[in-house]
């Protein structure tokens, strides 16, 4: 998992609007520092043995660096994201890239935050709703990608995407912030029979769960020592990365990468 990733550069990253609580148009990222942060994330992926595809960002798309919202991919199929109006200009670039690489691309009929609200865990898809994704998308994802969908509702705009509240470590291990999910969602997650790592609101709000794991190496933000330490005690290699500039747009490590290697279903049709 997460051995093949699509990223966009941070050259056009800026805060032109406010569509999550972390964004403030009066607090702009430092352009050079943002590029350096992003390049360090890409370098960490490459050092972990992951293959990285690069799609150049477009000047009119300041959030294109947050590639995870572009789609969710399984096998040779991709369901496109349907983001807030401020980010609609990104969609054709991602659609063209996916089509050009031979993916069978499906447009989302309802608001959908792409992989930000669709985290693969084996044959399960942890599917967020309540903020940016219409819950009617869950049936679409189940049908088009043949996942068993696990609906998880986040409790407020701080957790505007599920990947701020939940992190997939491997197909048996999930890290999550209980306070970021409503009670039925917590019970649903706890009933899956997976190994669950609880993360505090304080660390989750600093993008602790916005991580990329291939089951051996975890790339994640700096400054969340408790989760990083817990992962290391489980034998994982943990690479902590600076995301101070990217956080001004409301994103971390996971937000900047779209997973391309979620395997297709092995279930018989």
Question: What is the distance between the alpha carbons of residues 218 and 239, in angstroms, rounded to a whole number?
Answer: 6
Contact 29, 14 (CB under 8 A): yes
Q: Tell me the pTM.
A: 0.96
pLDDT of residue 258: 98
Q: Which two tokens stand for residue 23?
A: 């964004």
- Binning the chain into helix, strand and coil, the percentages to the nearest 5 are 30, 25, 40
CATH of domain 4-259: 3.75.10.10
d(CA 197, CA 215): 15
- pLDDT tens per residue across span 61-78: 999 999 999 999 999 999
Counting as low any pLDDT under 70, the low residues of the chain are 267-269
- Please tell me the predicted confidence (pLDDT) of residue 243: 97
- In angstroms, the CA 49 to CA 110 distance is 36
Going from N- to C-terminal start, the domains of the chain cover: 4-259
């Amino acid at each position: 998992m997460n051995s093949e990733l699509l990223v966009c550069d941070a050259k056009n990253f800026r805060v032109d609007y406010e569509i999550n609580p972390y964004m403030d148009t009066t607090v702009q990222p430092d352009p050079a520092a943002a590029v350096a942060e992003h390049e360090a994330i890409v370098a960490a992926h490459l050092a972990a043995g992951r293959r990285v595809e690069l799609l150049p960002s477009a000047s009119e798309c300041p959030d294109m660096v947050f590639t995870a919202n572009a789609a969710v991919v399984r096998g040779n199929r991709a369901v496109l994201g349907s983001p807030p109006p401020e980010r609609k200009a990104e969609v054709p670039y991602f659609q063209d890239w996916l089509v050009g690489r031979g993916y069978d691309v499906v447009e989302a009929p309802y608001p959908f935050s792409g992989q930000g609200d669709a985290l693969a865990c084996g044959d399960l898809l942890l599917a967020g709703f309540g903020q940016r994704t219409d819950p009617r998308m869950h049936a679409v994802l189940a049908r088009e990608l043949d996942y068993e969908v696990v609906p998880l509702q986040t409790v407020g705009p701080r957790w505007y995407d599920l990947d701020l509240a939940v992190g997939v470590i491997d197909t048996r291990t999930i890290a999550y912030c209980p306070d970021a999910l409503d009670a039925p969602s917590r019970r649903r997650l706890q009933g899956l029979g997976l190994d669950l790592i609880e993360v505090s609101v304080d660390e989750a709000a600093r993008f602790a769960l916005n991580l990329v794991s291939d089951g051996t190496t975890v790339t994640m933000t700096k400054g969340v020592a408790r989760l990083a330490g817990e992962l290391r005690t489980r034998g994982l290699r943990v690479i902590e990365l600076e995301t101070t500039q990217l956080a001004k747009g409301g994103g971390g490590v996971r937000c900047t990468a779209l997973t391309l290697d979620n395997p297709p279903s092995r279930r018989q049709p």
